[in-house]
Structures are given as C-alpha cells and as structure tokens.
Chain A
Amino acid sequence: MISPSQRRQGLVGFKYRVGDAIEAEVRRSCRDEFKILYVGGPFGRLAWARLGTLGQTSVFEASKISPKMKDVMRVRAEGVRVEGALDGEVVIAFFTEHRRSERRHALEALLRAP
C-alpha cells in the first residue's frame, strides 16, 4: 500500500493551469506537506481578500518599514496555509493531508475568480 507521503512524492513536479493566467506546480515542502506554487499574479488586495475568506488572515506590514517592501500575507485555515506578498506574483499554499483535495479546490476557485 502506498503511503500518503509516497503519493505526495509521486505528484511533485506536476504542473497545471488554474484559470487563464496562473500556473500551478506541485512541490514538496520542508515539512513534507503538500505544497503548491501558484505563479502568475500580481495578487492584489482583491485577490487576498478573496483568499482571506478561507480562514484567518495575518499581514506583516513591511511597507511601513520600507516603501520598497511589500506586505507579507498569510492566511491560515483548517488544512491549509497560504502565503505570499501583496501585489506579488506568487502564492504558496501548504496543505495537510486531511481534506487536502477539498481545500485545494476551494483555494483554486478563489484564485480563478475574476
């Protein structure tokens, strides 16, 4: 029988599109979580507000330290952690095994929204 870790490993490197503008790539996280990189932003306030509906958003307001920096966004919800920068071109999601598929579909529906 294949373990969840081995199944995750088998998917590493798989690429697919989310909507027209975003390319997703499955990665392996340092903590052996299921990690997906979504490239194709910029992911602005509206996108992060939508992602925030998944759970609780925290913002590290780096732009107040230096105007050259972008705020770092993090959304925590059951089974998923989503990270990125405000107006950045990447969103990184870390999924736990429990309800992974359901959380991924929910996240990607929010990313796909116009």
Chain B
Amino acid sequence: MSIRVDTHPDRFVASIAGEPHVFHCHHYNCFLQKSIVDQSALLDAKRLLTDAAAEVVYTELSALKATTDTAEVLFGQLGFGVLDAKALTAQGGNATVKGSHYALGWLSKFGKASEPVCYFVAGFVEAAARQKFGAAFQVKETACVASGANACTFEVKPGGRATLPPSVGMGTLTPFVERPAFATRTSVDEGAIITACAGLPLAGTIEGKIDAFGVSLTRHYSNYYNLISYRFDQQMASVAGEAATAAARMLLTEAGQVCAFHTFGGIMESAEWEGLIKPMCKTTEDWVYGMVSVVNALGWGRWSVAALDPGRRLELVVDGSYESNGYLAAFGTSATPRCHLATGGTSGLMNLVYHANIMSRPALTPQLYEKTFTEGHFFVARETECRSMGAKACRFVAERL
C-alpha cells in the first residue's frame, strides 16, 4: 500500500489529501525544533511542537479516512521511520517508532539528548489515535533513541483537547506573476530536472527512510513548519516583546541558512546532482540556476532568478511560497516579511556557490558552516517584498556584507 501524492505542476507544490508537503532534511528539522525548544524558559515549546503536528496530521488522516495501517504506511512513506500503533486501544497504550527521523537526526547533529526529542512524532501518534477512536488523547514520549533507548516509545492516554483546529490545507493561493527574463538565462534545463526529480524514488523505504540526494530527507508537512514558526514568533512577542520577536525571526532565518548549507550543499555533492544537474552546468552561475531548479521540485513554490550579478548579488522571485501560502491563510496579512526559510535559503545558496566553493566538494562540517556565514565578505539576504504584506510575489535579495 502507498498513499497517493498529488502533484500540482502549475503551483510547484505536492499534496496528500489536500495537505501540502515539502521536502526538508534533518538538519533543518532538528535545528528548527532546537531553536524553539531552546526558548522553553519563555514558552511551552514542546506543547507548541506537538500540538501543531497533531492538528495538521489529524486533518490529513481524516481526509484520508485513515485506518491504523494507513497512518503507519504514511509515516514511513514520508520518511519519519517505522511506526507501530497497532497496540493502541480506546483506553490508550503504547506506540513505538523504529528509526525515528527526529531521534536519529538529533543524535547525528547534536549528540545524545538529555530527554526525548520526537515532539512531531508525538503529535502524529496523537492524531492517529484520535482518527482511529474518534476521541481525544494525550501523548508523551517515554523513551527515545536520541536519549539512549533502543526504540522510541510513546505513551498514549485519553484526554487533552476535545477538538483540534483544522489545518489551512493548501493555504491562500494567488496567480503567479510573469516569470522574469533572467530565469531562463542559463544552459540548465529546469523542466527536465523537475521531470527527473519527479521520477526519483522519493517515498520512504521499508525502513521509513527516503534515500535520495545523499541527505536524510522527509516529505514533511508545510503547515507544520508554518504553524510552529509563526506561533513561536507570536508567543515570543507576547511574553517578551520586540527584542524576543527579533531574536525569533533571526533564528527562523538561520534555520533557513542551515537548511541551505546542508540540504542544498548535500544535494550539490550527491550522485543525483552528478547525474542530473552537473552535466548541464557550464558556468558557476549555472550552479545557482541548477539548485533553483531542484528547489522547484521540492514543493516550495516556484523560485525564479530575477537578477544575478556573479559573485555579488542575487535577486530571487518566489511565487506561491509555502510560507506565504500558509501565513496568509492561518494568520492573515502581515506588517513584516514572513518567508524566513526562503530568506535564509537565498543567502545560503549564494554563500555555498560564491563563498564556500561548493563546486570543489568541501566537507559540510559545522566548522565550514561557521566560517561560511561569519568570515570574510559573506552573503546576507533580506525579503524585500512578501505576499503576506500584500505583494503579488515574494522577492529576496542576497548581497555580500
């Protein structure tokens, strides 16, 4: 059994039962989670993470009319590991996960954790139990591979929120703007790359792992990222004011940089890049276009190069970014730009190509990350226009500091 993924080529997104999904690797997933958990003195971070997961996953499982089998298959297909929720009853019980993406990702990135870290998974299990028994449940991870256990165990008990707010689904969609002329000034064939990526085996294996692009990928929930990011921003503002809001936004943007460095960098050093994209790259600039083409296969919306001054400046236009789609639908309009991931991604891309010399296949170590984003004339990015502020598309500029 596999769960059908619907592609929307005109929107550059993919969805399951009306819920948009995007590819991200463990570096982003774990860094974003840690950024939020590190502020636990100010907010209930674990609840924020688990609640958002339960809401988004439950919306999807309901639309799928999912059985326990469906939930387990979906979990593995999305690359989160192997879920066993068969022992759950209306009175609760235990669910287990082997090879949890979050636990293994955390171990790999940050080392042994002092407590369980699979907050998203707890929300997924809560949603699966709620879908199966039509009642409210609370879920707590009692053992975690990240903190030394052999498997991750989730204790499920009746109780908790009576109803969950539904996910906003595909979000607020608006017509795309005309693609800038600069978008096609390259020998990179974006259409062929998107077609090829769509043909890659991007579903989780029997071990619940997605083996592609040499990175630890998940096909995650766009609205999970949006809810945890923007609720984090809101809660930081309400408890600690303007300075805390600024700090939250810096962390969210840095998560985007981490994502670009490791995910884009990992992709650019992968076998898939060697086969599909690198043969088309005749210039250094083509590496920027090549990565933008891959991004356009990841479900993040449509990225277009609007201007590229080699080694100096990049301007990107993004139509239908998943961040703005979700922000507009769940939170309304904004007085400030909201596409933090894409902002970090823009500077990250330029730093990889023109500052870290990704073409020479450097080891993507924490030391290189530090050097790339703090030393010399590195690139910084800002979002100059955002759909959440009323613009027709989101626009990003990366320039050297």
What is A's interface to B at a CB cutoff of 8 Å? 12-13, 25, 27-32, 37, 39, 60, 62, 65-66, 68-74, 81, 83-86, 88-90, 92
Known A37-B361, A66-B196, A83-B214: A31·B279 in contact at CB below 8 Å? no
Closest to A72 in B: B275
Known A65-B195, A69-B192: A88·B216 in contact at CB below 8 Å? no
Query: Can you list the 8 inter-chain pairs with the closest CB atoms, starting with the nearest?
Result: A85-B275, A83-B271, A66-B192, A72-B275, A85-B274, A30-B216, A32-B108, A70-B275
Question: Which of B192, B215, B216, B271 contacts A65 (CB under 8 A)?
Answer: B192
B348 interfacial contact with A, CB 8 Å:
no
Chain B residues closer than 8 Å to A84, beta-carbon distance: 271, 274-275
Q: How far is the CA of A86 from the CA of B274 in the complex (A)?
A: 9
Are B196 and A92 in contact (CB-based, < 8 A)? no
Q: How far is the CA of A81 from the CA of B274 in the complex (A)?
A: 16
Q: A30-B25, A31-B216, A72-B271 are in contact. List 17 more A-B contacts (CB 8 A).
A: A12-B363, A29-B214, A30-B215, A30-B216, A32-B104, A39-B361, A60-B275, A62-B275, A65-B192, A65-B196, A66-B280, A69-B196, A72-B276, A83-B270, A84-B274, A90-B274, A90-B361
Q: How far is the CA of A28 from the CA of B280 in the complex (A)?
A: 28
Known A31-B216, A37-B361, A92-B214: A70·B279 in contact at CB below 8 Å? yes
Known A72-B272, A83-B214: A30·B363 in contact at CB below 8 Å? no
Interface residue tally for chain B (C-beta within 8 Å): 32
B26 interfacial contact with A, CB 8 Å:
yes
Chain A residues closer than 8 Å to B216, beta-carbon distance: 30-31
A-B contact count (CB 8 A): 89
Q: How far is the CA of A30 from the CA of B365 in the complex (A)?
A: 11
Closest to A94 in B: B214
B126 to chain A, nearest CB (A): 27
Chain A residues closer than 8 Å to B279, beta-carbon distance: 68-70, 85
Q: How far is the CA of A68 from the CA of B302 in the complex (A)?
A: 23
Closest to A41 in B: B274
Q: How far is the CA of A74 from the CA of B266 in the complex (A)?
A: 17
Closest to B104 in A: A31
Q: What is the interface of chain B mostly: helix, strand, loop, or mixed? A: helix
Question: Which of A30, A65, A66, A70 contacts B274 (CB under 8 A)?
Answer: A70
B155 interfacial contact with A, CB 8 Å:
no
Chain A residues closer than 8 Å to B270, beta-carbon distance: 83, 92
Q: How far is the CA of A37 from the CA of B365 in the complex (A)?
A: 15
B256 to chain A, nearest CB (A): 18
Q: How far is the CA of A40 from the CA of B266 in the complex (A)?
A: 19
Are A68 and B280 in contact (CB-based, < 8 A)? yes
Q: How far is the CA of A28 from the CA of B278 in the complex (A)?
A: 22
B7 to chain A, nearest CB (A): 16
Q: How far is the CA of A27 from the CA of B368 in the complex (A)?
A: 13
A60 to chain B, nearest CB (A): 6
Closest to B209 in A: A31
Chain B 250-287 interface residues, beta-carbon cutoff 8 Å to A: 262, 266, 269-272, 274-276, 278-280
Show 14 A/B contacts (Cβ-Cβ < 8 Å), sorted by A: A12-B363, A13-B363, A28-B363, A30-B214, A31-B209, A37-B361, A62-B275, A66-B196, A66-B280, A69-B280, A72-B272, A72-B275, A83-B271, A85-B275
Chain B 265-314 interface residues, beta-carbon cutoff 8 Å to A: 266, 269-272, 274-276, 278-280
Known A30-B26, A39-B361: A68·B275 in contact at CB below 8 Å? no
Chain B residues closer than 8 Å to A65, beta-carbon distance: 192, 195-196, 199
Closest to A61 in B: B199
Chain B residues closer than 8 Å to A25, beta-carbon distance: 363
Are A92 and B276 in contact (CB-based, < 8 A)? no
Q: How far is the CA of A30 from the CA of B107 in the complex (A)?
A: 11
Q: How far is the CA of A30 from the CA of B279 in the complex (A)?
A: 25
B338 interfacial contact with A, CB 8 Å:
no
Are A68 and B196 in contact (CB-based, < 8 A)? no
Q: How far is the CA of A65 from the CA of B193 in the complex (A)?
A: 9
Q: How far is the CA of A38 from the CA of B25 in the complex (A)?
A: 24
Q: How far is the CA of A71 from the CA of B189 in the complex (A)?
A: 16
Chain B 155-199 interface residues, beta-carbon cutoff 8 Å to A: 189, 192, 195-196, 199
Chain A residues closer than 8 Å to B365, beta-carbon distance: 12, 28
Q: How far is the CA of A29 from the CA of B214 in the complex (A)?
A: 8
Are A30 and B266 in contact (CB-based, < 8 A)? yes
